[in-house]
Amino acid sequence: MNKFCSAEAAVATIKSGQTVASVGVIGWITPDLVLKSLAARYRSEGAPRDLTFYFPCGTGDGVGIRGMDHVAIEGLMKRIVSGSYINPMNPATGKRPELMRLIRENAIEAYSWPIGASMQWLREVARKSPGYMTEIGLGCYIDPDQTGGRLTSRSTDSLVEKIQFRGKPYLFYPAWNIDVAIIRAGEADDAGNLSFENEALMSSSLALALAAKACGGLVIAQVSQRVERGTRRAQSVKIPGALVDHVVLDPQQMMTTEVQHDAAYFGGQPYDSSKIPGVPFGADKIIARRTAQEVKPGVVSIFGFGAASDTPLVMAEQGAFDNGRIRDYAFTTEHGPFGGLVMSNWQFSANRHPEALLDGLAQFDFIDGGNCKFAALAFAQFDAAGNVNVSKFGSFNPGAGGFIDIAHNARELVFTGTFTTAGLQIEAGKQGLSIAREGKVRKFVNAAEQITYPVREGVVNRGQRARIITERAVFEVTAEGLALTEVAKGVDIRKDILEQMEFPVAVSDRPVLMDEALFVQ
């Protein structure tokens, strides 16, 4: 039986009121053509209507590869549950993603889950269990005592419950059906056997297919290449044709935004520092340089999206990985690559020159098992109670991504970001650092808009060590609060630090000066 068909024929199988799930990690492994075709069908026919969309991770970047923003249409989308949301400014249009507008205007039901939960929940759906139970996320925004993950007032259902089991509290995510899974692979044969030779990640592809089939649903796969049946080794076929109903061929699909194809993301090639993009000099580079001083060879280190992911690139500029020394470092992200170099911006998630790859669920098994000892993550707000926020601030609702699972399970945490934001301008050089214009928005606040992770609780109750690294100061998180441990030369502690914070911090009589090499272009 030949399972290949057009994208239009594939999406014609989707019915009103169904739950549609799809894979994607920013631009990586996003079945963009199928999602675009589903939106086109709705605009043409007015059907299907009132769909629930489930995205374990932010699918598409809303710019070059629109992903879930294709289906962000009132009438088509009734509800969305996602592990993260993407909110970049489109440089061509000057607009934010349409999905963010629907959320801001309360036009749809929208829920934000941690990616760890959104991945592991699929396993429970696939094996027809009652749901997913975890202690990760207690005391965070996903806790029903806070928001329960709701992003709009229309989101009235309780998709996460707080339960007691053997005398301890847990979060419980009840299982519900997935009717259609839209996934992406590299290659398929006529029987629908899927392999990933030309994809840098697997993410939740297999898990989505298993979950949909357990619910009696359909699986639509988008691939870039059609191959003859029986020509591949079984070890390379990660999803058997028994799990796939329709295959859509898109020979033009991008690897990710701005990358049509780059074999360095598959591994098996020597490390080449000449092809590593540089990091422009500025506050973020200063922060990345200081964070690099915390990174140790031989320690499994996980990096989050944002300022933290510049750290390996800065280390590459400094020559830390030359002469084979990249093999001394064990770098990963929440999406499964091991070894090689963590990338930044739209290339974040996959590593260049990886040595191994886990799928999305197995990677969170690895993370939740405490195997990532060191974590460098970004921060948007840090408050007087010792809570960090990256999931909701102002009009932005990016969600937690893998932040909660990573932060909960690492032993050593570094949170990176500028001291203030919205217009911050600095001048730096051998003289140290000076603030040419202060940012309009403070990030050290009395109370965070949302608790993504209670850092001080982790330090006090679970023995974690946590630091905050900014362009002008470094803080240690202690049981008593924040302690200023380092300051940039040229910075006025009172004016540039203490008066820009909404709560007091401990300051030593002689704080250590940050390394002056950090500030030289």
d(CA 226, CA 114) in angstroms, rounded, equals: 35
Residue 115 and residue 304: Cα distance in Å, rounded?
12
Nearest-CA neighbor of 367 among 331, 406, 404? 406
24 and 31 Cβ atoms separated by less than 8 Å: yes
Question: Would you say residue 258 lies in a domain?
Answer: no
pLDDT at 130: 98
pLDDT of residue 1: 82
| Contacts with 45 (C-beta within 8 Å, 6 or more apart), sequence order | none
Split at pLDDT 50, 70, 90, the class of 55 is: very high
Model pLDDT, residue 151: 97
Band (pLDDT 50/70/90 cuts) for residue 235 is very high
State the first-to-last Cα distance of the chain, in angstroms, to the nearest integer.
61
Q: Map tokens 């470094």 to a residue.
A: 474
- 23 and 170 together in one domain: yes
My answer on whether 227 and 356 are in the same domain is no
* Same domain assignment for residues 229 and 342: no
Note whether 224 and 321 are same-domain residues: no
- Choose one of 204, 222, 249: the last residue of a domain: 249
Side-chain half-sphere CA neighbours of 100 within 13 A: 22
Residue 260 lies in a domain: no
Q: Is 478 exposed, middle or buried (0-12, 13-18, 19+ CB in 10 A)?
A: middle
Active-site residue among 334, 438, 471, 486?
Answer: 334
CATH assignment of the domain containing 277: 3.40.1080.10
Dihedrals φ, ψ of 257, to 5°? -55, 130
The pTM of this model reads: 0.97
Tell me which of 383-392, 399-408, 508-517 is least confident: 508-517
Residues 300-310, mean pLDDT to the nearest whole number? 94
- The one-letter amino acid code at 50 reads D
Rg for the chain, CA atoms, rounded: 23
Task: Looking at the structure, tell me whether residues 235 and 286 fall in a common domain.
Answer: no
Determine the Cα angle at 344 with ends 255 and 426, to 5°. 145
Band of residue 169 on the pLDDT scale cut at 50, 70, 90: very high
- 292 lies in the same domain as 237: no
Number of domains comprising the chain: 2
Classify 457 as helix, strand or coil. Answer: helix
Q: How does residue 395 score in pLDDT terms, banded at 50, 70 and 90?
A: confident
Are 244 and 271 members of one domain? no
Is residue 259 domain-resident?
Answer: no
Q: Mark whether 412 is an active-site residue.
A: no
pLDDT confidence of residue 374: 98
Q: Same structural domain for residues 290 and 431?
A: yes
pLDDT at 294: 98
pLDDT at 316: 97
Residue 32's pLDDT band (cuts 50, 70, 90): very high
Instruction: Decide: 250 and 182 in contact? Cβ < 8 Å.
Output: no
352 and 284 inside one domain: yes
In terms of domains, do 59 and 146 share one? yes
In a domain, 67, yes or no: yes
313 touches 276 (CB < 8 A): yes
In this structure, the answer to whether residues 226 and 292 fall within a common structural domain is no
The predicted structure's pLDDT at residue 94: 87
pLDDT, residue 306, reads: 83
pLDDT at residue 381, rounded to an integer: 98
Q: Which of 201, 216, 249 is the last residue of a domain?
A: 249
| Nearest-angstrom CA–CA distance, 202 and 184 | 9
Asked if residue 394 has pLDDT above 90, the reply is no
Q: With beta carbons less than 8 A apart as the criterion, state whether 314 and 399 touch.
A: no
Q: Nearest-CA neighbor of 308 among 371, 243, 249, 375?
A: 375
- Given 215, 249, 283, the domain boundary residue is 249
Contact call for residues 72 and 98 (beta carbons, < 8 A): yes
Residues 383-411 have a mean pLDDT of: 95
Which domain covers residue 470, as residue numbers?
A: 265-519
Same domain for 242 and 271?
no
Give the model's pLDDT for residue 58: 96
The answer to whether position 370 is within a domain reads yes
Residue-wise pLDDT tens digits, 63-109: 999 999 999 999 999 999 999 998 888 888 888 999 999 999 999 99
Find the DSSP H helices in 427-466. Answer: 455-462
Residue 83 Cα to chain centre, angstroms? 8
451 in any annotated domain = yes
Structural domain includes residue 388: yes
Per-residue pLDDT reduced to its tens digit, 427-480: 999 999 999 999 999 999 999 999 999 999 999 999 999 999 999 999 999 999
Q: For residue 512, is it within any domain?
A: yes
Average pLDDT, the chain: 97
